[in-house]
């Protein structure tokens, strides 16, 4: 049986880690998108404050979900 997937791009942020930024983006997306199936991290970035401390982790990820037949 063949399947079709829709892919979208998300940006997640966290004050804790890259992993938490990914989880945050997927959790938020799952509130309005059903059938999330896989993700791929495309970019990782961070924000540094004036004291030289990392204060935010950012990820850009592609997420796919299966197109459901009606």
CATH of domain 5-66: 3.30.1660.10
Q: Give the residue extent of every domain in the chain.
A: 5-66
Among 6, 17, 4, smallest CA distance to 63 is for: 6
Query: Do residues 59 and 25 lie in contact, with contact meaning Cβ atoms separated by under 8 Å?
Result: yes
Q: Specify the higher pLDDT residue, 66 or 49.
A: 49
What pLDDT sits at residue 41? 98
What pLDDT sits at residue 3? 84
| Residue 64 to residue 5: CA distance in whole angstroms | 6
What value does the mean pLDDT take over residues 15-38? Answer: 95
């Amino acid at each position: 049986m063949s399947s079709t997937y829709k892919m979208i791009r998300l940006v997640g942020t966290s004050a804790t880690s890259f992993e938490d930024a990914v989880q945050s983006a997927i959790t938020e997306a799952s509130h309005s998108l059903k059938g999330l199936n896989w993700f791929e991290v495309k970019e990782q970035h961070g924000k540094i404050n004036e004291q030289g401390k990392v204060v935010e982790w950012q990820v850009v990820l592609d997420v796919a979900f299966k197109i459901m037949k009606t």
